[in-house]
Structure 1
Amino acid sequence: MPDPAEPYAQRPALRGTRHMASAGHYGAAHAAFAVLEAGGNAVDAAVAGGIALGVVQPDIVNVAGVAPIMIRMADGAVWTIAGLGPWPRATDPEHVLRNCGGTIPEGILRTVVPAAPDAWITALARFGTMRFSEVVQAAIRFAEGFPVHPLMADTIAGYREKYARWPSNAAIFLPGGRPPRVGEIFVQSDLAKSLRYMADEESAALARGGDRASGLEAARAAFYRGDIAQAILRFHREAGGWLAAEDLADYRSPVERAITTRFAGVDVHTCGAWCQGPVLHQALALLDPAALKAAGHNSADYLHQIIEAMKLAFADREAFYGDPDFVNVPLEGLLDPAYAATRARMIDPARAWPDMPPPGQPRGAAPIAAGAPLNVPGAPSGPPRDTSYISVVDRWGNAVSATPSDVSSDTPVIPGTGLCPSSRGSQSFTAPGHPSRMAPGKRPRLTPNPIMLERTGEFVMPLGTPGGDVQSQAMLQVMLNMLLFGMDPQDAVEHPRAATYSFPDSFEPHVTHPGRICLEGRIARATGEALAARGHQVSWWPDRIWRAGAVCMVQADQRSGILTAGADPRRASYAVGW
């Protein structure tokens, strides 16, 4: 195994001194960079790139999907914008139990209120400087046609039968009756019209004498009250969906302060327990930096500690995480160092937990309901639904980390709009007693969770990845690569990773794989054998597989002024800046 302190990456780390963006697709990174060059700040640029991701990665991100956003302004305050909509008011969990076998079905009944458009516009209104029409231009151009990249072609081909279920999906994703091939031009004319309509409504408000704020509100209203909303609502009425006018019109993305803990002298910021963000805090609290460094990078001892810590954190996620507006999430108790010390004693250095460990009893938690179904073995449910990511840092010291998502293969495109309103209901549960059980007005527990790292006076680093339940695991390993082993961002994202699946998958049907871990092929075979000897069910991934996540980041050195980006070659990720 090469010394991790030595250069390992196939790509060089991108360095500059002015501004930089790193995103899950090169087109989105360029869209963000163009806005930075035009004088926009990091928020303006991230919105431009984030909306563009919903166009150039329409298989795994939707313009009408989810978009959790984290923003650190130059004054040091770190904010989160939830970008996750709730279940409609008319949602009927008992209908799912009676008529759908207890599983939230693919299709229109998975729809929650689409939050991404509001989240992006909220970011612009609260923290940006530009108009919606200025930041959406790249997305509109991409919607008029862009070349298909390999992962997109593979994903659409893999879900061909799913796309064919709805004529509106097939018309876009199976043009000419087949999946698009690499290098072919992919056109989304209706999506371009929807984005233009929002921009035109903003322009009309400005022409009437409105200011920037009223223009942004007009763009938002075009989606949530105007022609786009009416098309969505008409389709839902005709197809038996639950979404209603008041669900759309009343939605606003919450803006909150980030959740912060410290690890190895670094402040780690995440979103709240409406997503899986605090899992990262919990796992880090179970790990000893000195012991990990002494164990050696990606050794059996090192990976065993990480995997077992993740299992314990995921056990608490299943027992306690849910929409804090509906569930008493004992977050203070979960993040208490004394609680972490108790949980850490459950890690046996010589033996793996054969399944997900039991949840703990943190301060402030209600007793776990007897018999609550938290871990149900099952067959594989196919490739994970997915996500993308963008990070931006500008020349003024503002930083943004955002993880937009939602797929287009499990729910219908609304005819004439090019949009798939968020099917994130797939991340709710139906079991009574589960903290993320579906309910009217309640948000699912989200997997996308952008993070931000900082050491005061030294660096700020927005960081994130797609990957469903692998997200927190991939981010943790990349963090350790940098903080414990001194890797630069590009080297850190290219080193091989491991992941555990010994917990219920966040997506329906929530299957689990007791004891399973996956190792990328560049991890030493002897390491895999040593982990198997401790009871891990070891499976091997190929080298640089997309399932291991696609971490992107920008590290802003506050002492030298140098910006350094990492972009994961496991997908179409690239960084742009100078």
Structure 2
Amino acid sequence: MKNWAVATGHPLGTQAAERILRAGGNAVDAGVAAGLTLGVVQPDLVSVAGVAPIIMYDAATGAVTTQDGIGGWPAAADVDRMHRDHGDHVPEGLLRTVIPAAPASWIKALSDHGTMTFADIAQEARSAARDGFEVYPLLADFIAARRDKYGRFPSTAAIFLPGGEPPRAGDIFVQHDLAWTLDQMVAAETACSGDRRAGLAAARAAFYEGPVAQKITEFHAANGGLLTAVDLAGYAVRSEPSLPISFRGAQVHCCGAWCQGISMAETLAMIEVAGPEAAYRDGRLDLHFLLEVLKRVFADREAYVTDPDYMNIPPEALLDPAFLADRLASIGPTSDPLPAPGPALKPDDDRDAPFRVGCADTTHVSVIDSAGNIFSATPSDPSYDTVVIPGTGLSVSSRGSQSRSIPGHLNALAPGKRPRLTPNPVLALKDGKPWMALGTPGGDVQVQAMIQVLLHLLDGGLSAEKAVRAPRVATYAFPGSFAPHNVHPNRVLYEADLDPTQVADLKARGHDLEAWPETTWMAGGICLAMRDDTGTTAVADARRAGTAATGPT
């Protein structure tokens, strides 16, 4: 019987996880190996020094743990100064930098729940950085489409525009400086005379306090950045409880309100309250109902959700049955272009403007091992909107793009405050047994893509492959998570192969429709790993560059 399953955003990530599982590692070892590798082989979408939110299930104890995997703003961050100098939106470049969290998040997961060393799990990442890997079409297209942005900063252009030109599909993409960074971490671990956890701590210190940290902070000091040695040395990943939601007989665990996990939880809870006939009727999704639910969830996100340390309400208030029933009661037979609440909304209803490019950055890794341990992580942070730190190969987390530089705004930047993250991995149990790891890139499309896959599986009875392949829709009737936070009231995007009768129904109900191409990367890139009594299944979305694998230990 096939008894482990892996799906990741790139073939080399999947290969790294598979190697670890075949060598006797657990889901956490495999997931961290894949996640670190993805930071190397998807450098347009993910950074080794980016974010890495993680959710894990321990089969031995039944415990579910989340790690936020996102750093706060540096101590020098000043919203009044940022607003004075740059207006309402945090500008591209060094000033977007928050404390890099991914290395600490990977190492904490390994130390607390894994069995292997950093050197064990870093093999594919180091090799891909040092020797290079083959450029795949989506990477080539992404860099070419953002050529001007990559060309702004010499240290960034040197890597992403070698010889002044974007790499072409089939070229070998080498990152010698990034290999140096990973080598520093492995060397520190190797030199440590303590046990496995001591070695992992030494690898972490090489990044946050040693030679890597020195290069990062010296560059910030010389170029007007905010990060300091104190910021890096003081960083700690937070482990926090999950938000478990009972949904169609499964228990879906979401991350907290420091990311869209609370929005995923609210979406699931609202649809569950509405009942089994609300979202899936006559053998297909009721897209009008689903879109209206999502619009309300995102209105609530804008009005209430930020770093939980700064929220005015407890996050669980958004899951209260009475609150959800009230939200559902506001859904009518026709489209509500921009549902309340929304005192902070500033609609930008320019219907003639071309629609913005979808959110490409981010990737995902899902793993279930033979013991039933689950690992689900959504690492992220692109390279086109920040400056590579010379000598390190690192695009240090530019997640500050999700904060506002508006004094008094709910999501205004502040020292130590976490930007409200879009990546939000989930996992699910059935009858108390491990069932699924799930996640996707796509920014504000993440919640939307995942809920459609879950509804196809649980209400529609589709296979995992068909549920992931089914055409998707997405609303954009809310302020976008990324600067400049545009609002597109009533706007719905749909993949061109959507059933024409569903398109006609949405049009008749007053939705403002625009077609995506079929099977577009803009609709997400689901990575799904499942386990039941018959074995395991893994699916990586054909919309992006992911791959999946299953097999015996």
TM category, shorter? over 0.9
Matched letter for residue 277 of structure 1:
G
Q: Which residue of 2 aligns with 1:577?
A: 550
Report the alpha carbon displacement of residue 342 of structure 1 after superposing the two structures with TM. 1.0
Decide which of 105, 111, 117 is 2:103's aligned counterpart: 117
Q: How far does residue 283 in structure 1 lie from its aligned partner after superposition? A: 1.6
Unmatched 5+ stretches in structure 1 = 1-15, 360-367
Q: How does 1:132-147 map to 2 (within 5 A)?
A: 132-144=118-130, 145-147=132-134
Q: Secondary structure at the match of 1:273?
A: coil
Alignment-derived partner of residue 459 in structure 2: 484
In structure 1, C-alpha distance between the alignment counterparts of 2:207 and 2:537, rounded to whole Å: 37
2:144 is matched with 157
Asked if 1:351 corresponds to 2:329, the answer is: no
Q: Report deviation, 1:324.
A: 1.1
5 Å-filtered alignment, 1:194-209, equals: 194-205=181-192, 209=193
Q: Does 1:210 align with 2:194?
A: yes
Aligned to 2:319: 335
Q: Does 1:53 align with 2:22?
A: no
- Number of equivalences: 544
Q: Equivalents in 2 of 1:289, 1:188: separation in Å?
A: 51
* Corresponding residue for residue 25 of structure 1: 10
Give the secondary structure class of the aligned counterpart of 2:492.
strand
Take 1:506 and 1:377, find their aligned partners in 2: how far apart are those partners? 17
Q: 1:179-210 deviations in whole A, cap 9, x for unaligned? A: 011111100111111101101100001xxx31
User: Aligned partner of 1:565: which letter?
Assistant: A
1:498 aligns with 2:473: yes
Maintained 8 Å contact 1:80/1:271: yes
Tell me if structure 1 keeps the 8 A contact 2:280–2:459: no
Sort the Cα spacing of 1:577 and 1:486 in 2 relative to 1 into closer, same or farther, 3 A.
same
Q: What pairs up with 1:12-91 in 2 under 5 angstroms? A: 17-74=2-59, 75-91=61-77
Distance 1:95 1:237 in 2: 17
Cα contact 2:347–2:489 (8 A) shared by 1? no
Q: Is the 8 A contact 1:320 1:330 kept in 2?
A: no
Quote the residue 1:264 is aligned against.
248
Cα distance in 1 for residues equivalent to 2:23 and 2:138: 31
User: 1:316-395 counterparts in 2 under 5 A?
Assistant: 316-348=300-332, 350-355=333-338, 357-359=339-341, 372-373=344-345, 375-377=347-349, 380-395=355-370
- Report if the CA contact (8 A) 2:259-2:424 is conserved: yes
Gap change, CA 1:375 and 1:317, over 3 Å in 2:
farther
Counterpart AA for 1:192: A
In structure 2, the partner of 1:435 is 410
Structure 2 residue runs of 5 or longer lacking an equivalent are: none
Structure 2 counterpart SS, 1:290: coil
Contact 2:302 2:344 in 1 (8 A): no
Alpha-carbon distance, 1:535 to partner:
1.2
Distance change (3 Å), C-alpha of 1:211 and 1:156: same
8 A Cα contact 2:75 2:416, kept in partner: yes
Aligned identity (percent) is: 50
Q: CA deviation at 1:282?
A: 1.3
- Residues 355-389 of structure 1 deviation map (CA, whole Å, 9 limit, x = unaligned): 2x112xxxxxxxx8xx5345455665544251000
Cα deviation, 1:283-314, whole Å, max 9, x if unaligned, reads 22222342246623445xx0001000000000
CA-to-aligned-CA distance 1:453-489 (integer Å, 9 cap, x gap): 1112454201000000000000000000100111222
Q: CA contact under 8 A between 2:373 and 2:434: conserved in structure 1? A: no
Q: Does residue 1:556 correspond to 2:531, yes or no?
A: yes
- 1:525 aligned onto 2:510: no
Q: For the residues of structure 2 that align with 1:51 and 1:172, how far apart are their CA atoms? A: 19
Output the CA distance in 2 between the equivalents of 1:430 and 1:293.
38
Does the CA-based 8 Å contact 2:69-2:102 persist in structure 1?
yes
| C-alpha distance in 1 between matches for 2:270 and 2:409 | 25
Q: Contact 2:358–2:442 at 8 Å: present in 1 too?
A: no
Of the structure 1 ranges 264-273 and 398-407, higher mean CA displacement relative to structure 2 is found in 264-273
Q: TM-score, normalised by structure 2?
A: 0.96
Deviation at 1:527, TM superposition (A): 2.0
Contact kept in structure 1, 2:87 and 2:406, CA below 8 Å: no
TM normalised by structure 1 equals 0.92
Q: Structure 1's 373 and 518: CA in aligned 2 closer, same or farther, altered over 3 A?
A: closer
Q: Does 1:167 align with 2:150?
A: no
1:260 partner letter: P
Aligned equivalents of 1:61, 1:76: Cα separation in 2: 31
SS, match of residue 493 in structure 2: strand
Match of 1:463 in 2: 438
SS in 1 for 2:429: strand
Which SS does the other structure have where 1:334 is aligned? Answer: helix
Kept after mapping to 1: 8 A contact 2:347/2:488: no
* Contact 2:374-2:434 at 8 Å conserved across structures: no
C-alpha distance in 2 between matches for 1:29 and 1:329: 40
